[in-house]
């Protein structure tokens, strides 16, 4: 699947995922926490034409029809350019094809020493405060 910046690819669990630890740490400031889940679920990475990772989404599954976006991160120099929006649209399309019908986003605010739980709000992708997104009929979220 192509985005304007490059391709979205699935990275298998294993040593190759170590290459993306720096991006995972943008979404979760705890190296211990990242190490505990980085080889679970599906890791989708958006790469530019030179093969540089611009962003990633780590998806964990709860059964066949529900998923959690555990980590969503975009390299700082690529932020504000729509990378996350396009990346999430592509990942949600893949999840829809897989039969997932409900996607949850719950994260800890990176950079916050309080560890408060927050839910990112991104109306353009269907995620809002305190509400999961249901995936249906060709739209990322309904």
pLDDT tens per residue across span 106-119: 655 544 443 433 33
SS3 of 35, please?
helix
Q: Answer whether residue 139 is part of any domain.
A: no
Residues spanned by the domain of 115: 6-134
Does any domain span residue 112? yes
pLDDT on residue 108? 55
Q: Is residue 119 part of a domain?
A: yes
User: pLDDT, tens digit, for every residue of 69-104?
Assistant: 999 999 999 999 999 999 999 999 999 999 999 999
Domains: count for the chain = 1
CATH number of residue 52's parent domain: 3.40.630.30
Confidence at residue 69, expressed as pLDDT on a 0 to 100 scale: 94
Element (H or E) spanning 90, and its range?
helix 83-98
User: Does residue 142 form part of some domain?
Assistant: no
- 3-state SS class at 48: strand
Residue 79 lies in a domain: yes
Of 29, 42, 97, the closest CA to residue 68 belongs to 42
CA–CA gap between residue 76 and residue 18 (Å, rounded): 19
pLDDT tens sequence across 23-77: 999 999 899 999 999 999 999 999 988 889 999 999 999 998 999 999 999 999 9
Kindly tell me the sign of the dihedral angle through the C-alpha atoms of 60, 99, 73, 47.
positive
106 against 2, higher pLDDT: 106
Higher pLDDT, 134 or 20: 20
């Amino acid at each position: 699947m192509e985005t304007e910046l490059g391709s979205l690819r699935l990275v298998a669990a294993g040593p190759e995922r170590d290459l993306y630890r720096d991006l995972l740490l943008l979404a979760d400031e705890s190296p211990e926490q990242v190490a505990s889940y980085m080889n679970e679920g599906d890791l989708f990475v958006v790469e530019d034409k030179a093969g540089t990772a611009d962003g990633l989404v780590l998806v964990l599954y709860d059964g066949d029809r529900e998923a959690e976006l555990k980590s969503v991160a975009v390299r700082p120099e690529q932020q504000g350019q729509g990378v996350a929006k396009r990346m999430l649209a592509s990942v949600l399309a893949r999840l829809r094809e897989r039969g997932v019908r409900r996607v949850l986003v719950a994260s800890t605010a990176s950079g916050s020493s309080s560890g408060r739980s927050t839910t990112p709000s991104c109306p353009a992708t269907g995620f809002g405060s305190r509400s999961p997104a249901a995936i249906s009929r060709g739209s990322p979220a309904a």
